[in-house]
Structure formats: C-alpha cells, structure tokens
Structure 1
Amino acid sequence: MEHHLKIARVETFAVPPRWLFCRIETDDGLVGWGEPVVEGRAETVRTAVHELADQFLLGADPTRIEDLWQVMTKGSFYRGGPILSSAVAGIDQALWDIAGKALGAPVHRLLGGPVRDRARAYCWVGGDEPAAVRDQVAAQVEAGFTAVKMNASGRMSRLPTVAELNEVAARAEAAREVLGPARDFAVDLHGRFSAAGAVRAAGVLQPYAPMFVEEPVLPEYTHLLERVTGATSLPVATGERLYSRTDVLPALRSGIAVLQPDLSHAGGISESRRIASLAETFDVAIAPHCPLGPLALAASLQLAFCTPNFLIQEQSIGIHYNKGAELLDYVADRSVFRFEAGDLLRPTGPGLGVEIDEKAVRAADGSTTAWHNPLWRHGDGGFAEW
C-alpha cells in the first residue's frame, strides 16, 4: 500500500531582526521551512499560523499543496488581509519545500523548470542627505550591484512643498551621478504621497530616469493609481501591500509597469505564481518585494527562475532594518545565495534550495525585540505616513 506523508508538527520561531520562521515536519521526518511574517506583527501572524495548523494541517498530506491552500484561505467565513495571507504564505512555502525535498528537485523545477540562469538583484541604500546617498550608492557599485533602491523622501506634506520636492530631486541626482547611464536606481515613494503629490514627485524625478517609482499612493487608494500612471512616462510599481489576485487586479488595470508581490505576504509561492501569470496578461513585469529573511528570499528566487515576466529581485543583505541579525546568519551554507556581477545565480538544491541552521534559529527564538515602524508626525502634530 502506498504510504502518504502526514504533517506531524508545526513550529514557529520569532528571530531577530524582525522575522518569523515556520517549520513543518512530516511523520517520516521530512522538514520544510517557510517565512510567514508581517513586519511589526510577527506574534500576531504566529498565532494565525498555529490556528491554521490546528484546524487544517496536522494529520494532513503535505503534498496536497493546492488543496491545503484552498482550505486555509477559504475554509473560514472571514478571510484575506495581511495577517491571514502572510500566515498562509509561510505555510505554503514550507509545503513546497517539503515537496521539492521529497522529489529531490528545486521548486522551480516543479513549476515548469527554469526560464533563466541568473536573476538580477538590487540592494537598498539609505541616508537622508544626498551626500549619504552618493556614498552608499558608490559602495554598492563597488560591490558589483547594477541596481539600487532608495526612499524618495522623509515625511511629506499632503501637497509637497517646493523644498520637499527639491530634496527628492537632490537624492535622485546624487544617485544618477554615481550610477551613470549604465546602471539603475528605483525610488520608493512608500505611500507617503497623495495622488497629486505623487504626480509632482514623478515630475521632478523624470530627468533622472529611475527604473521605476514604487508605491506612489497607499494600497487603499489603488483606484487612484491611474492618475499617476496617466501623468508620467516613468514606470510605476506597486504590490507589496496587495495580497491576492483580486487585490492586484485594479492595480494592473491602472497601467502600472511593475508588480511587486511579496511571497511572505501574498499567499506564498502558490498565489504569487498565479499573480505573476495574471500580470503577464497585462504585459506587466514582476519584481518580488523582499526586505525580509533567507526563506522569503529563497522562495522569491524559486518564483523568479520560472517566471517569464520577472524583472528584478529585492534582497535584504545590508538593509537598514537588519539590526541584530543579517540574512545569512540563519543559513547553514551561505554559498546558496551566490552573487555574480549583481545577479543571483539559480539555486540547485532541493525544495527552496536553502538549508536553515536549525540550532541557530532555536537559540535565537524569542530573543528579538518586537520591531515597529516609526510613528511620524507633521510639524503641526498631525499624523504623517511613514
């Protein structure tokens, strides 16, 4: 009689700097890992993971990935949103990791095979002053990267002042000076702008030709994106705070050029694969959002290497959020994330292709201080978007 695997145990680990890992073990000892997290809400997502495990996973066949995805997302009357979608995402990653390990193949082989051998990557540069941007961009060029991303601004007025717009332009000018015409930079507006403000920001950015302008409006104002895309020739990107095909559809219809699903938020590999296919029908590129840990990056790369409309991969090595731990600190073999001339090379190991240092993860569990994004206020004391 054929033996069917069963899920025997689901564990979660909250580790520095702000990550949550999920470990799923089968009855015959196969282990899969995933990264279900909402930055700043790790413990909330952790609770959701264990609720889903108790209700749907324990005793189930882990190879029935699609069926488990369906029941986790639709088996309860209240569904969707960042917490539940992220909990499902990390579980889904772990199930694909198990499937790949059971078959001895990387996940991208199970999803149709590779369509490329290298994935272009970008890194973050911070700094509030143009001089700091210039220095950090120069350091990343020296490290071999061909693209960087940076925030466009600090807190912004509802209608940006000339002084605020001049600061946006100064940062872009500093980046372009160092990069020259052969390298790229992207600008993250981070939902800090109104639609009218984003149009003005795009205008001052135009001379510096950023690769894309990210999240010009908040996700709840996706219906206003067309005001921005219709007013600029710059490629517009969004998607890190959209969690499903139905969430991204209005953005795709608005005329964006780049969609940025986060594989630790948008339902994992299963849903992000469908999101990418949907985007392809709108001639929209995919640039997975990933300022997170090693499992989120590993899952993103599996998608990148089997997705025809993939553009570029975000990764968090050296990002300013990583205080207390780095992406490679929890990886047993650091060479799995291999960079060459700013590109990540195709992973070849089974499953997600990364071996987690379980001893390090267990030792770090619970040692993290809860991360929360800053709370900003305007000069008059009113709330300001971060």
Structure 2
Amino acid sequence: MSRIERAEVFVASPGRTFVTLRITTSDGVVGLGDATLNGRELAVASYLRDHLVPLLIGKDPARIEDMWQYLYRGAYWRRGPVTMTAIAAVDTALWDIKGKVAGLPVYQLLGGRSRDGVLVYSHASGRDTAELLDDVERFLSLGYEAVRAQAAVPEVGGTYGVRKGKLYEPAAAALPDEQPWDTEAYLNFAPTYLEAVRERFGFGFHLLHDVHHRLTPLEAARFGKAVEPCRLFWMEDPTPAENQEAFRLIRQHTTTPIATGEVLNSIWDVQTLITEQLIDYVRTTVVHAGGLTHLRRIFDLAALYGVRTGSHGATDLSPVSMAAAVHLDVAVPNFGIQEYMGHADETLEVFRGGPTLADGMLHPTEVPGLGVEYDEKAAERFPYQARYLPVARRLDGSVHDW
C-alpha cells in the first residue's frame, strides 16, 4: 500500500511570496498544496513544518477525508486562518495525488463538469475616473465579461484596489504602508465613478465593486441603495464579516447583491450568512478555508439556500490554489463567478501549468491531478522577502479596517 514518504515546505518570493507544500508518496507520486497567507506566510510554514509534516509521514494518502478530520479535530485548537491554511495545503496536495493515481483531472473526481468554462472577473482601476474608464475599456477589449471597478478617492491619498503596476499587489516590503481613509469622501465619490462606467459602457457586462470591509452596516446599506441603478453584479465585503448578524441590516435597505467571505475560514464562519440568505455570493477559497474537502462543504450548504460561489482569486493565491479553485468551480452546480488576476512572469517561472483563459472564462487542464508543477530550482532564484499588507488610518489618526 502506498504511504506518504516525504512532505516538504517551500517559501519563495517569485513576484510575491508563496508557501508551497509538496507531498511525495512511496510510489513516487507528487502532490502540491498552496499554504500562502498574505503577510503571515512564515506562521503557516512553521505550522506545517513543526506540527503537521511529522503527522503525515507513513499515512495513507488516499484517505483524504480521514486526514482532514485528523488534522482539524485532532488539533483541539481549531479554525483560524493559520490552521485552516495549513490544513488546506495538505488537503489540496492529497487531491492532486489522488487525481494522478486515478489518471484523471481533479474535477472528474468531484463529479465531472457542470459547465464548459468558469466565468471570471478581473480588476480595472484608476487614479481618477477617466483613468478607470480607460482601464475598463481595456479589460472589455480583452474579452472579459465581468470587471471590478475601483478608483482613488480624490484628496484623500489612500484607497483600496488601485493598481500601480501590471498587477495589483498591495503587500509591501519593510513595515506596513499606512494609508489614509475617509469614509464620507468614499461614499460621495464611489457611486459617481460606477455611474460613469455604466454611462460609457452600458449594461452589457457584469460590473463589480469591492468595499473591502470599510463601512458600518448602515453605511453599507446607504452605499448599496445609492448604486442600485448601476445594477452591480455584487458589492464585495461591505462591512467586516466577523459579525454575521450585521448583514441583516444591510439586507433590509438595499437590493444590491452582497458578496463576502474571503477572510473567513470555515463553514461555521459563514453559516448564518448562508442559512439566513444574508449574502448572495460566498467568497471563501481553497487555500484559506481548509482545502477542496471543506470548501466543497461550504458550497454545498450555500446551494441549499440559493447562495452562489465567488471565490477570492487575487495574486496571493498561488497557481496551485487557482488550479484547484477552477476544478471545483467547474464541478459545483451553484457556481457564480471566479476572481482572476493572473500572475507575474516570475511566478509562472516557478509554477508551470494550470488553467487557461479564453473568452472571459478559465478552463481546467485535462492532465491528471491539478495540472500544476513546482520548479524547485527556479524557486531558489527568488528567496523569501518579508512583505506586509497595508494598514488604514482615518484622517484623525485612528486605525480603520483595511
């Protein structure tokens, strides 16, 4: 019987920092898992190396469900982003192995296709409305059928989601970038640029916007009401989601669809949001919500209540996670949309393969497993660099949700 013979943790910074788990069986089959937690990568790497890897050696790689329960219930200290990201890496690697042993792409093991491709959205942004409109036009010309729109708030100096280079990457070296924030200025300005996008390009594509946890429930309700004429696909993370009950107030005041969950890590973190139908899209993701095994449970619960999927897919997910997400997206019946930003050229030197983009949709590979390979030699050219996500401060100097 095949056993887990070796489990290795790699930390490298090809374009941005990624933590990768590689499991090798006694039969020589290799599986990859993503363990990246943006800004706290070494915490997960240590959790894996010091606590989980010793538990894996000698275990049967085919017993994915049993392994998930063993690592979760057997830890006593449960949930949280570090624990769930580490478990996700193991779980994803075991699914990769199972697909390779079976000779099938992972989506076939999840029940086969429910759709031909996976609708994606990417990120248009600008330092002002005019620059944003040009960027929206660029994405539409590339064939995207869904675009997220963000613009810098005038005279504030700080905002969320405005790209400085080819890709949006908020994490910075050294200490966190402290960015100013003014809620009233945002509430006055954001609806105007979303209206400008619709006025210029019409309603023939999906328009999304990320509030990024920055509003109180009542402020979020006010914003959702203001942008109803724009017919957003969703407003994302309108208020911090730790307080699930807060979404009841937003629901009472606006029909703008709501998406949340990228910083949540378990089915219990979204249980009220889903069962009370307080959101329309759940954004939990493979790497931060316990892997394919647990994310499928979340999506199945969501399907019972008419909630669709919309998983996080920024550049802080490695190509391993993106591949796993697309395998699940193509299989589940309640898929909604998948965030997709692409990756830096350096990233793609280390991670080879994965889904392909065509006509605004991602398509999983047909090779056995997840379809991604890790080039250890290439990764050695990109040693670890510490990076922090920003911190937001109100104009009076107090800390705000970034």
- Return the TM-score normalized by structure 2: 0.88
User: Counterpart in 2 of 1:209?
Assistant: 231
Aligned to 1:50: 49
What per-residue deviation string (whole Å, max 9, x for no partner) do you get for residues 322-379 of structure 1? 6xx555333334xx43222101123211111223334323432xx2422211122122
- For 1:379, the equivalent position in structure 2 comes to 395
Contact 1:211 1:235 survives alignment (8 Å)? yes
Cα deviation for residue 236 of structure 1 reads 0.6
CA distance in 2, matches of 1:21, 1:11: 6
Q: Secondary structure at the match of 2:373?
A: coil
Deviation at 1:44, TM superposition (A): 0.7
Moved beyond 4 Å, runs of 4+: none
Partner of 1:173: 195
Q: CA deviation at 1:55?
A: 4.1
Aligned to 2:28: 29
**Aligned 8 A contact 1:198 1:216 in 2:** yes
- How far the C-alpha of 1:178 sits from its partner, in A, is 4.5
Asked whether the equivalents of residues 376 and 384 of structure 1 are also in contact (C-alpha less than 8 Å), the reply is yes
53-62 or 287-296: bigger deviation: 53-62
Q: 1:356 to 1:12 in 2, by over 3 A?
A: closer
For 1:328 and 1:204, locate their aligned partners in 2 and report how far apart those are by CA, in whole Å: 41
The C-alpha deviation readout for 1:283-317, integer Å capped at 9, x for no partner, is: 10011111122111001001101100001111121
The residue matched to 1:381 in structure 2 has which SS? coil
Instruction: Please show how residues 241-280 of structure 1 align to structure 2 within 5 Å.
Output: 241-252=263-274, 253-280=276-303
How far residue 214 of structure 1 moved from its aligned partner, in angstroms, is 0.8
Partner in structure 2 of residue 238 of structure 1:
260
The answer (yes or no) to whether the contact 1:22–1:90 under 8 Å persists in 2 is: yes
TM-score of the two chains, using structure 1 as the length reference? 0.91
Which has the larger displacement, 215-224 or 80-89? 215-224
SS in 2 for 1:200: helix
Paired letter, 2:361: D
Partner secondary structure for residue 289 of structure 1: coil
2:156 counterpart residue number: none
Q: Percent identity?
A: 34
**Structure 2 unaligned spans of 5+:** 154-158, 160-179
| Cα gap change, 1:300 to 1:107, in 2 (>3 Å) | same
RMSD between aligned alpha carbons?
1.9
* Structure 1 unmatched runs, 5+: none
1:310 aligns to what?
335
3-state SS of 1:242 partner:
coil
Shift in Å, 1:115: 1.1
Structure 2 counterpart of 1:370, which letter? A
Of 349, 366, 369, the residue aligned with 1:329 is: 349
By how many angstroms is 1:197 displaced?
A: 1.0
Q: Look up the equivalent residue of 1:6 and give its one-letter code.
A: I
Q: Deviations over 1:84-121 (max 9, x none)?
A: 00111111111110111111111111111111111111
SS of alignment partner, residue 24 of structure 1: strand
Deviation at 1:175, TM superposition (A): 2.8
| Matched position secondary structure for 2:336 | coil
Asked if 2 retains the 8 angstrom alpha-carbon contact of 1:137 and 1:178, the reply is no
Structure (1/2) with the larger strand percentage = 2
Change (3 A) 1:88 1:137: same
Is 1:344 aligned with 2:362? yes
- 1:287 and 2:307 are equivalent in the alignment: no
Contact 1:131/1:174 (<8 A) preserved: no
CA separation in 2, counterparts of 1:358 and 1:18?
14
Q: Which amino acid aligns with 2:57?
A: L
CA–CA distance in 1 between the matches of 2:200 and 2:378?
38
Matches within 5 A, 1:31-180: 31-151=30-150, 154=159, 156-157=181-182, 160-161=183-184, 163-180=185-202
